[in-house]
Structure 1
Amino acid sequence: MSGSSGFSLFKRRNRSIIPGFGLTLGITLTHLTLIVLIPLAALMIRPWDIGLSGFWHQVTEPRVLAALRLSFGAAFVAAAINAVFGLAVAWMLVRYDFWGKRVVDAIVDLPFALPTAVAGIALTSLYAPNGWVGQYLDPLGIKVAYTPLGVVVALTFIGLPFVVRTVQPVLEELDTELEEAAACLGATRFETFIRVIFPVIFPALLTGFALALARAVGEYGSVIFIAGNMPMVSEIAPLLIVIKLEQFNYAGAASVGIAMLILSFIMLLVINLLQRWSRRWAGV
């Protein structure tokens, strides 16, 4: 009896692998409910004051469609640019030693720490027609400030660290012996990168792309200064939400917010499916 009771006691003690699972699960669910689920539920309920037809009318207005198209289009382009150049920056920081490497590594994180409004003012002063950079681009017919191109520049600025910091740890853990083996088998550097390195880092690159995209879609502070905020031209969706709130059109603002939420969810869902496929492709 004592032996069996001791055995059952031993089993009860080892039943839970993670100590405090019930407590941590309760804290997690409570936190997610208060911070995420309840605000999202309030956002979803608000437009029903105007009905489904009113919601559809709000989100299909030409001004709203133009703002959504600019926000998501510019965010996608900026995230794609960051995926390319972020990979290059991460590669340089991991594979090469050079003077000032720590300084460059710290500069990458500046968009995290810099207030978005300050970033917007700085970019506007640089790319305005009389700015340090804009004064040389303007004679060439290239206008950055107060155009959709300025929106892409601002979103690229704030999204770069997400790609670099996501890809960098994967590159650091990558086994260089695989590259040496590929070289011994006669593979060129390009073939080694495409067939050996890229399949391993591609899931991380997609994660960085998704984070940069999600960050760019909802960006407000750094964009409103350089965009010019012209309706149907350079007006972003977050600004349009603020304008509707200032006009006390709460249902309209919530409708635009729901449209952004649905589009963001679809884009992130597609990216997550691509991540699963890329992990299977890489054999991870």
Structure 2
Amino acid sequence: MNAPALSIPQLAPRRRRPLPGFGLSLGLGMAWLGVVVLLPLLALVWQALGLGTAGWLRAIHDPRVQSALKLSFATSLLASLFALMAGALVAWVLVRYRFPGRRLLDALVDLPFALPTAVAGIALTAIYSSNGWIGRIIEPLGLKIAYTWIGIVIALVFIGLPFAVRTVQPVLETLGREQEDAAISLGASRFTTLRRVILPELLPALLTGFSLAFARALGEYGSVIFIAGNKPYSTEIAPLLITIRLEEYDVDGAIAIAALLLAASFACLLLINAIPSLSAYARARRRHA
């Protein structure tokens, strides 16, 4: 009789990863992150800490600096709110409706990401100036947009709109319409369905989009300087004043303004990272209520 054949276990083929091991990948990634992002930021923080109390007080108590900071924060806040409302509406249309040109509209949302900001600023100025397509119509009515704070807000809405759309759109796609149909079948009105069903699910995405748009608008330079007019104490933004201070060899003043903008952007980043935890806590409270 023939001896039974021994079965040799088949070893699973080892999967080859396109990148090296975890340690090497993490080291390379952190090295690039440190050189490109962290090192310049640490240098700015170190320089800001070296200003001392007298340097900070001299830089912050300057009326021109205070005016520029107030203008930048106020216009960024208004532009982020407008971008959030318009972006949520655009995302709703793109997700819930099918119409000719929908893909083109979806692609145009990302245009501010690809368009150089200086080109956007020149185009907006050409449209809203006194001899532009829109400016020549509305300025005789007493409404001036170019070289005013209104023009700054429009430019910031232009560059902040994609952030609002791209943060809300994926949530709407995963949300579906089942919950809305269930609410309507139970007798809920459209406003009640929006307030009790849709908005609670969209709130984290809305807050994230607002924070991203605000942080982006706060440091915007290229698309604003052309339409703002750059009048001191009137339409001069904080990023432009940083450049002016450097041209005047006032490095301490430029560092102080840049550090304030960095702190505001970092606060927005912390808010964005805290939104998922806050949202989970709010949902748990609603379940137990």
TM-score with structure 2 setting the length: 0.86
Corresponding residue for residue 11 of structure 1? none
Corresponding residue for residue 239 of structure 1? 240
Q: Which runs of 5+ in 2 are unaligned?
A: 1-19
Corresponding residue for residue 3 of structure 1? none
Residues 67, 240 of structure 1: 8 Å contact kept: yes
Corresponding residue for residue 15 of structure 2? none
**Is the counterpart of residue 149 in structure 1 residue 154 in structure 2?**
no
More helix per residue: 1 or 2? 1
Corresponding residue for residue 98 of structure 1? 99
1:25-64 correspondence runs (5 A): 25-47=26-48, 50-64=51-65
State how far apart, in whole Å, the 1-side matches of 2:123 and 2:172 are: 32
Q: Over alpha carbons, which structure has the higher Rg?
A: 2
State how far apart, in whole Å, the 2-side matches of 1:20 and 1:279 are: 34
The structure 1 segments of at least 4 consecutive aligned residues displaced by more than 6 Å after TM superposition are none
Between 1:80-89 and 1:168-177, the stretch displaced more is 168-177
Between 1:33-42 and 1:96-105, the stretch displaced more is 33-42
Q: CA RMSD in A?
A: 2.2
Letter in 2 for 1:201: L
Between 1:32-41 and 1:182-191, the stretch displaced more is 32-41
1:16-27 correspondence runs (5 A): 20-27=21-28
Residues 206, 275 of structure 1: 8 Å contact kept: no
Between 1:216-225 and 1:132-141, the stretch displaced more is 132-141
Q: For residues 7-62 of structure 1, what are the alpha-carbon distances to aligned partners after superposition, in whole Å with 9 as ceiling and x for unaligned?
A: xxxxxxxxxxxx93322332233223212222112112324565321122112211
Corresponding residue for residue 182 of structure 1? 183
Residues 161, 213 of structure 2: 8 Å contact kept: yes
Q: For residues 194-249 of structure 1, what are the alpha-carbon distances to aligned partners after superposition, in whole Å with 9 as ceiling and x for unaligned?
A: 11111111111111111111111110000000000001100001100111111222
State how far apart, in whole Å, the 1-side matches of 2:51 and 2:22 are: 43
Closer, same or farther in 2 for the Cα pair 1:190/1:50, shift >3 Å?
Answer: closer
Corresponding residue for residue 14 of structure 1? none
**Is the counterpart of residue 210 in structure 1 residue 243 in structure 2?**
no
1:43-192 correspondence runs (5 A): 43-47=44-48, 50-192=51-193
Closer, same or farther in 2 for the Cα pair 1:84/1:246, shift >3 Å?
Answer: same
Residues 59, 259 of structure 1: 8 Å contact kept: no
Q: Secondary structure of 1:241's partner?
A: helix
State how far apart, in whole Å, the 1-side matches of 2:276 and 2:137 are: 41
Between 1:230-239 and 1:243-252, the stretch displaced more is 243-252
The Cα shift of 1:134 comes to 0.9
Corresponding residue for residue 265 of structure 2? 264
State how far apart, in whole Å, the 1-side matches of 2:95 and 2:263 are: 37
Q: For residues 44-86 of structure 1, what are the alpha-carbon distances to aligned partners after superposition, in whole Å with 9 as ceiling and x for unaligned?
A: 2324565321122112211111111111111111111111110
TM-score with structure 1 setting the length: 0.88
